[in-house]
Structure 1
Amino acid sequence: MKNITAFYLNGCPYCKGAKEALAELIEENPAYRQVAVDWYEESEHPEVVQGHSYYYVPSMFIGTEKLYEAQPGQSYDAIKAHVKAALDAALKA
């Protein structure tokens, strides 16, 4: 199992949705509690952002491998599906 590094911006509605989806997924499947998700506000942690290639937030990575990058207009259901896929990938890694 690997940790997930996630980048967000304060005030971003997609980031809020991703965090809500993460909490919901953990309630639905307690196995997801095993995955450490380290959230970094990108403007406060430029040293952590370095080496990660993305444009939109939230973005989730294992190492520098991008698992998810939000897209403008994404629905909550789409965000939740991507967060779930990231968690599944972390559990398998």
Structure 2
Amino acid sequence: MKNIKMFHLNDCGYCDKARKAMKELKQEDKYKDVVVETIEETEHPDIADQYDYYATPTYYVDEKKIFEAHIGMTYEQIKAEVKHVFDLALED
């Protein structure tokens, strides 16, 4: 499995949606073993500053940015993007 990093903020509504999506997806057998390294950017600015993103949540798979949220995204859109991230991480 490829490495997944998620940059987030504790008080971010879109991040809350992404966390909910991850929790739901991990209930499926296919995704139950997916591991996501979560990095709260205000708690770890030294790490966050090394990555090129503007909005949270942002996901990287093996150091490649795959998804960065934008204003107006629905829960369904975010869940689809998180699923895509998980699928990429599981590819051989």
What's the CA shift string for 1:25-81, capped at 9, x where partnerless? 111x22212221011110111122133111010000023201110010100000000
Counterpart CA distance in 1 for 2:34 and 2:22 is: 11
TM-score (ref. length: structure 1): 0.91
Q: Which runs of 5+ in 1 are unaligned?
A: none
Runs of 4+ in 1 over 6 A off after TM superposition: none
Distance 2:51 2:62 in 1: 8
Partner secondary structure for residue 5 of structure 1 = strand
Give me the CA root mean square deviation. Answer: 1.2
Structure 2: gaps of 5 or more residues: none
What is the match of residue 15 of structure 1?
15
How many percent of aligned residue pairs carry the same amino acid? 41
Does the aligned pair in 2 maintain the 1:51–1:64 contact within 8 Å? no
Give distance in 2, aligned partners of 1:68 and 1:75.
Answer: 14
| Alignment size in residue pairs | 92
The answer for the alignment partner of 2:79 in structure 1 is 80
| TM-score, with length taken from structure 2 | 0.92
For 2:8, give the aligned amino acid. Answer: Y
Q: CA deviation at 1:21?
A: 0.4
